[in-house]
Amino acid sequence: MSKNEPELTSWRVVSLAELVSARAAILSLALFALAGAGARAFAPLSRAFVVRSKLIDVVVLVVLGGVLAFLALTTPLG
């Protein structure tokens, strides 16, 4: 990762949870999972590290993002 690229690290998500709310942090993780699914869906195969099929990656990331968003919106968080 170059110095000009922003990086998302776990301490930033934890900081978001402490400063704003746990719900906002979990929703941000859900958004990143859904964005990853979109990036994987539209990335050319030559630009991706291919271990699994693209369909499996996209489905897993969409399910992960959906479940995280559902739990963030329906679970009572302290």
Q: Where are the domains of the chain?
A: 21-74
Provide long-range contacts, Cβ within 8 A and 24+ apart, for 23-32.
23/72, 23/73, 23/77, 26/68, 26/69, 26/71, 26/72, 26/77, 27/68, 27/69, 27/72, 27/73, 29/68, 30/64, 30/65, 30/66, 30/68, 30/69, 30/72, 31/65, 32/8, 32/65
pTM: 0.73
Interval 13-23: pLDDT, tens: 667 667 778 88
Q: Over 90: is that where the pLDDT of 69 sits?
A: yes
Interval 26-67: pLDDT, tens: 898 999 999 999 998 988 777 666 777 889 999 999 999 999
